């Protein structure tokens, strides 16, 4: 099977957003008056971001989910995406499953594939570039956190990190249902797109949790020139984590990564609106800390509390170039 047959059979779908889509040198689509484009790209490499025996349907789904999560963090509505993929060989069964998982999520969010590229590669390499739309000036940045703002997270933390630890046999969980749920959160994350769009008028800063709470919150603090106090006892965790030794569970919840939940700040008077959103979306939204001012000479940092008392808790987010 040649490159163009591969594209035609597995990656060409009807779409309405681009005047010219797959099959020409460029995609062409019109600009919408009053909106700005939000563009993000993510790369997944076999052996670094996913195991070689991963379900290809889950891989296709997650490859797009990680990008949609970036749009959610800006409060943007998905528009379309580009896919570039390198493969050792054109395995038809693998491609059928991968494209099914990919388009399952794309169709749910009305985000069509409008172009891309394919090549032969020693390992599976997937790169997606997604674009979304946000009303002019309404995108939520990392740099807007204000002193006195509450810090919130959506969903629960550490599930995907536990799933990876179970697959790598670093942790054992005897309950098969808990094990299955943790691994499912690793492979099938839910990008909080609708929630992000509603938070756009409430949050002062926002980002998605891809590399772990500890590292990602520091991104907001550095961009906003602030520090934070975070209560570890307030971190939302499922029973599968709470059954582990406490410090091990907290480490997974703060440094494990792959949560793809939303981390955001908002002024305290917005708490009632946020709690209503939690009810509307049937999703926990947990207040975990507060934004503080930097004293003279201080660098952005997180002050960890455990049951109200300062603690020397060590947590570091995922770093692609950390050996």
128-143 pLDDT, tens digit each: 999 999 999 999 999 9
Class of domain 142-310: alpha beta
Please give the structure tokens belonging to residue 58.
């889950």
pLDDT digits (tens, 9 = 90+) for 195-251: 999 999 999 999 999 999 999 999 999 999 999 999 999 999 998 888 899 989 999
CA-nearest of 60, 57, 58, 286 to 152 is 286
H helices present in the chain, as ranges: 3-11, 56-74, 92-108, 159-167, 176-187, 193-199, 213-224, 239-242, 246-255, 271-281
Cα–Cα dist 174/189, whole Å: 23
For residues 315 and 223, which has the higher predicted lDDT (pLDDT)?
223
| Average pLDDT rounded to a whole number, residues 119-124 | 92
Decide if pLDDT at 7 tops 60: no
- CA dist 252 and 301 (Å) reads 19
The Cα–Cα gap between 8 and 95 comes to 12
Angle at 161 between CA 159 and CA 164, to 5 degrees: 110
Distance CA 127, CA 233 (A): 37
Residues of each domain in the chain carrying CATH 3.90.650.10: 142-310
What pLDDT is recorded for position 8? 60
Query: Rounded to whole angstroms, how far apart are CA atoms 161 and 234?
Result: 18
96: its two tokens = 């059928």
Q: CA–CA separation, 120 vs 150, rounded Å?
A: 48
If pLDDT is split at 50, 70 and 90, which confidence band does 177 have?
Answer: confident
Q: Report the phi/psi class of residue 246: left, alpha or beta, with left for phi > 0 and alpha for psi in -120 to 50.
A: alpha
How confident is the model at residue 303, as a pLDDT? Answer: 95
Q: Report pTM.
A: 0.89
Q: Which of 115-124, 166-175, 209-218 has the highest mean pLDDT?
A: 209-218
Query: So what's the pLDDT on residue 317?
Result: 47
CATH number assigned to the domain with residue range 3-18+34-135, chosen from the 4 options 2.40.50.90, 3.30.1330.10, 3.40.50.10470, 3.40.50.2020: 3.30.1330.10
Domain with CATH 3.30.1330.10 in the chain: 3-18+34-135
Q: Is the pLDDT of residue 27 over 70?
A: no
Judged by phi (left if over 0) then psi (alpha if -120 to 50, else beta), residue 142 lies in: alpha
Instruction: Tell which wins on pLDDT, 40 or 242.
Output: 40
What pLDDT does residue 3 have? Answer: 58
The per-residue pLDDT for range 101-119, each reduced to its tens digit, is: 999 999 999 999 988 888 8
What pLDDT is recorded for position 319? 44
Q: What is the pLDDT of residue 17?
A: 63
């Amino acid at each position: 099977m040649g490159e163009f047959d591969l594209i035609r059979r597995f990656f060409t779908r009807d779409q309405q957003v681009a005047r010219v889509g797959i099959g020409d040198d460029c995609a062409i689509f019109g600009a919408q008056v009053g909106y700005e484009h939000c563009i993000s790209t993510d790369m997944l490499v076999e052996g670094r971001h996913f195991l070689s025996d991963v379900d290809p349907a889950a891989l296709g789904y997650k490859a797009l989910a990680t990008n949609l999560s970036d749009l959610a963090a800006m409060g943007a509505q998905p528009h379309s995406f580009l896919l570039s993929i390198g493969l050792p060989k054109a395995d038809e069964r693998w491609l059928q499953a991968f494209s099914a998982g990919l388009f399952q999520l794309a169709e749910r969010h009305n985000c069509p594939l409008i172009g891309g590229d394919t090549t032969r590669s020693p390992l599976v390499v997937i790169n997606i570039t997604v674009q979304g739309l946000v009303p002019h000036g309404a995108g939520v940045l990392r740099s807007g956190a204000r002193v006195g703002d509450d810090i919130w997270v959506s969903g629960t933390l550490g599930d995907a990190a536990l799933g990876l630890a179970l697959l790598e046999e670093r942790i054992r969980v005897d309950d098969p249902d808990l094990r299955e749920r943790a691994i499912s959160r690793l492979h099938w994350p839910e990008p909080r797109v609708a929630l992000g769009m509603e938070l756009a008028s409430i949050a002062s800063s926002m980002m998605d949790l891809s590399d772990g709470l500890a590292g990602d919150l520091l991104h907001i603090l550095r961009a906003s020139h602030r520090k934070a106090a975070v209560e570890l006892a307030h971190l939302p965790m499922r029973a599968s984590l709470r059954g582990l030794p406490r410090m091990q569970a907290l480490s997974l919840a703060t440094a494990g990564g792959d949560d793809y939940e939303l981390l955001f700040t908002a002024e305290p008077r917005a708490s009632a609106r946020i709690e209503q959103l939690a009810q509307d979306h049937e999703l926990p939204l947990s207040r975990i800390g507060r934004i503080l001012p930097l004293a003279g000479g201080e660098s952005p940092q997180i002050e960890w509390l455990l049951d109200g008392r300062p603690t020397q808790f060590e947590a570091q987010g995922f770093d692609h170039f950390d050996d």
